[in-house]
Structure 1
Amino acid sequence: MQRREWIQCVGAASLGGLLAWRAEASTETAHAELAKLWRRDGGALLVRHAVTESGLGDPPGFALGQCSTQRNLSDAGRQASRAMGAWMKAQQFKPDAVLSSQWCRCQDTARLAFGAFEDWTALNSTFDGQGDPTAQQKALRARLQAMPKGRSEVWVTHQVIMTALTGAYPEMGEGFLVDRQGRLLARGRMAV
C-alpha cells in the first residue's frame, strides 16, 4: 500500500479539507489553494528537518559545522526534501526567505528543497539543555510579528522549536504554516 502524506487545515483558513503535499492529479486544486493562501496571507512555514538516520538527538562528540559528528538525513529524507522543492516549483511559488538551523540535517533539508538558505541561530535545537529556549522563542515571535502581510518564509528547524512555538508536535518532515501571531493554520508532511 502506498503511503500518502497530507496537510490538514487546522485553523479558520479554508484549504478545502485535506491537502496532499505531493502533487497528484486528484489534489492539484488543493495544492493550488495552499499556495494561494500562503501567497495571499504570507507567514512562516516551519519545517521539521526531513527523516534522519535512526537515533535521538546527536551522538557523543556532536559539533556544529561537522556533519560527520551529527545524526544526518537518511536517503528517504533527502528524497522527501527534493519532493518538497519540486512541489514548490510546480506551484510556481518561491518563498521570500528560507532560514535554517545550523544542524546539518536542517541545512541539508533546506538545501535540497530550496537551494539557497540562511542560517538563523534562533532555529537551533534546544534539546537536552542546548541553546537558550526563552531567547530563541522571543526572536521567533519578534520576527513573525514584524513580518509584513504577504511575506512568506520557510524556517527549517527541530521538533522542540516547533512545539514551543505552536504547542503541537511535528513528525520528521512535517511542516506547520503559521501566521504572524504564531497561530497554526495548516500542517502536513513531505511526501516520500
Structure 2
Amino acid sequence: MRRMKSLLAALVGLRGALGALALLALPASSAWALDLRDGDIVLYRHALAPGGGDPPGFKLGDCSTQRNLSDEGRQQARQIGDALRQRLGRLPVGAVWSSPWCRTLETARLAFPSAQVQPQAAFASFFEQADREAESLAEARQRLSGWRGPGVLVVVTHQVNITGLTGVFPSSGEGVALRFGDGKLAVLGRIDPPPAH
C-alpha cells in the first residue's frame, strides 16, 4: 500500500513537471540575474531530510512521528537564509510562510530566525493524498497571488507543492522565484541549494 501511495505521488509530480516542461530548463541563478523585487516570492523546498514521505503513524503535531531534518539539513537551512539575505541586500524578507510539517517549519525557523514563521495549511504536503492536489494548489495560488509586499515573501514547502505550482522539480534546499503579473504567477528562475557538507 505504501509503495502504491509513493508511486501515485510520483505520478502527480511527474504530471506537474510535464505540464510545464520548459520551466525545467530554467538555469539556476548562479549569477543572481533574478533581480528580485518588492512583492516577489521565493518558494523553497525544505532542507535535507533523509527518506521520502512520512513514516507510518505520522501525526502532524508530533515531530517524533515525522521525517525530520538531519544535522546536515539544519546546517543547509541556516545557509539558505544567509545566502538569500546576502543577495537581497536592502530588500527585506517581508514574511515567511511554511507548511505545517516539522521539517518545513524547522527549515524556515533556522533560515530566518528573526522572522515570525507563519504555518499555512495551503502549503501542506499532499504527497500521500493525491486527491487533495487540485484543491491544495488552488488555495496556494490564491494565497500567493495576494502577496504584494513589502519585501519578498519566502514560503518553505515540499517538492510536490513546488512542482505542482511551477513545473520545477526542486532539490532539497532549492528555491524557485516567482513574480505576480498580468493576473498570473510567473517563474523567474531557480536558486541553487547551498552545498551539502
Q: Distance in 2 between matches of 1:70 and 1:150?
A: 34
- C-alpha separation in 2, matches of 1:18 and 1:104: 27
Structure 2 residue aligned with 1:60: 56
Aligned ranges 1:106-185 → 2 under 5 Å: 106-115=104-113, 116-129=116-129, 132-148=132-148, 151-180=151-180, 181-185=184-188
TM-score by length of 2: 0.75
The TM-score normalised by the length of structure 1 is 0.76
Query: Counterpart of 1:38 in structure 2: which amino acid?
Result: L
Q: Secondary structure at the match of 2:162?
A: helix
Q: What are the ranges of 5 or more consecutive residues in structure 1 without an aligned counterpart?
A: 1-7, 11-16, 21-29
Q: Which amino acid aligns with 1:122?
A: A
2:29/2:190 contact within 8 Å kept? no
**Residue by residue, what CA displacement relative to the aligned partner does 1:79-126 show, whole Å, maximum 9, x if unpaired?**
111112222333344311100001110001000001231000010000
Q: Report the counterpart of residue 43 of structure 2 in structure 1.
A: 46
Q: For the residues of structure 1 that align with 2:28 and 2:65, how far apart are their CA atoms?
A: 38
Write the distance in 2 (CA, Å) between the matches of 1:130 and 1:61. Answer: 18
Alignment partner, residue 192 of structure 2: 189
- Partner letter of residue 187 of structure 1? R
The number of residue pairs the alignment matches comes to 165
Decide which moves more: 165-174 or 82-91: 82-91
- For residues 119 and 149 of structure 1, the distance between their equivalents in structure 2, rounded to whole angstroms, comes to 18
2:80 matched to 1:84?
A: yes
- 2:10 aligns with none
**CA contact under 8 A between 2:91 and 2:152: conserved in structure 1?**
no
Residues 95-104 or 121-130, more deviating:
121-130
Counterpart contact for 1:98–1:118, Cα < 8 Å:
yes
For the 8 Å contact 1:47–1:157, the answer to whether it is kept is: yes
- Cα distance, 1:172 vs structure 2: 1.1
Q: Report whether the alignment pairs 1:71 with 2:74.
A: no
In structure 2, the gaps of 5 or more residues are 1-23
Question: Over aligned residue pairs, what C-alpha RMSD do you find?
Answer: 2.3
